[in-house]
Amino acid sequence: MLVGDRVFAEIAHEYFTHDSDYEVVAFSVEREYLQGETFRGLPMVPFESLESVCDPADHSVHVAVTYLRFNRIRARLAAEAKAKGFALASYVSSRAFVWPNVELGEHCFVFEDNTLQPFVRVGANVVLWSGNHVGHHSRIGDNCFISSHVVISGGVRIGDNSFLGVNATLVNDIEVGTDCWIGPAVTVTRDVERDSFLTPAKSTVRDESARERFLP
């Protein structure tokens, strides 16, 4: 089952259907956001009653929600689905290159053309959109969203809940703190303290609080 009814949910439905062993049988959103009884021809189930409609022993859940509120919504819904007894499903594209000793946490979504080199560790509830390079020995924390064509060089450590924009580049052996927003086309050449919001014009200094901007 997929939680969500927006663009990412549509995309996830395509990928799970055509490039995984899973069969999507229903969608779900929280009751206050229900806009109809079906979505893409499948039942739409209130999240609050999900376990009474679909047996957790026979179904898995993936929360197809992006980085809203700094990934907190996706993380919360995944945790609540797990508390209901559901296993959390991951998707890894058959067209992604994932070295055999890569450690991938639960409830991840890895699109095509991602390269994950040896000794990479990826936390739980991480989205890697299309075309990223994750260098050897790098660590990506929980609840991160890595958008397309990001270069994470070797030995990089990325804290929980962080977002990396399209075409961002991180050099070797640096650390990005938790709750960081690294904007599109930013080049990062040194450590980034937690709760930083970086723009292309100020890519090596803390521009403003990311949490204040995205968690009002």
Whether 157 has a pLDDT exceeding 70, the answer reads yes
Q: What is the pLDDT of residues 135-151, one digit of tens each?
A: 999 999 999 999 999 99
Q: What is the mean pLDDT of residues 176-193?
A: 96
203 pLDDT higher than 60: no
Task: Give the pLDDT of residue 160.
Answer: 98
The average pLDDT across 1-17 equals 97
> Which one, of 90, 1, 107, 15, lies nearest residue 45 by Cα?
1
What domains are there in the chain, each with its CATH number?
A: 2-88 (3.40.50.20), 91-199 (2.160.10.10)
Does the pLDDT at position 214 exceed 80? no
Give tens-digit pLDDT for 52-78: 999 999 999 999 999 988 899 999 999
Give the percent of the chain with pLDDT over 90. Answer: 90
Strands 42-46 and 38-39: antiparallel
Q: How far, in Å, CA of 131 to CA of 151, rounded?
A: 9
pLDDT of 212 reads: 74
The number of residues in the chain equals 216
Q: Which of 23-37, 102-116, 188-202 has the lowest mean pLDDT?
A: 188-202
pLDDT at 62: 98
Share of the chain above pLDDT 70, in %: 96
**pLDDT number for residue 209:** 78
DSSP element (H, E) containing 72 = helix 72-83
Taking alpha carbons only, the member of 48, 16, 52 closest to residue 29 is 48
Q: What is the spatial distance between Cα 63 and Cα 80, in angstroms, rounded to a whole number?
A: 10
Mean pLDDT to the nearest integer, 93-116: 98
Q: What is the pLDDT of the chain when averaged over all its residues?
A: 94
Residue 107 has a pLDDT of: 98
Whether pLDDT at 205 is above 60: no
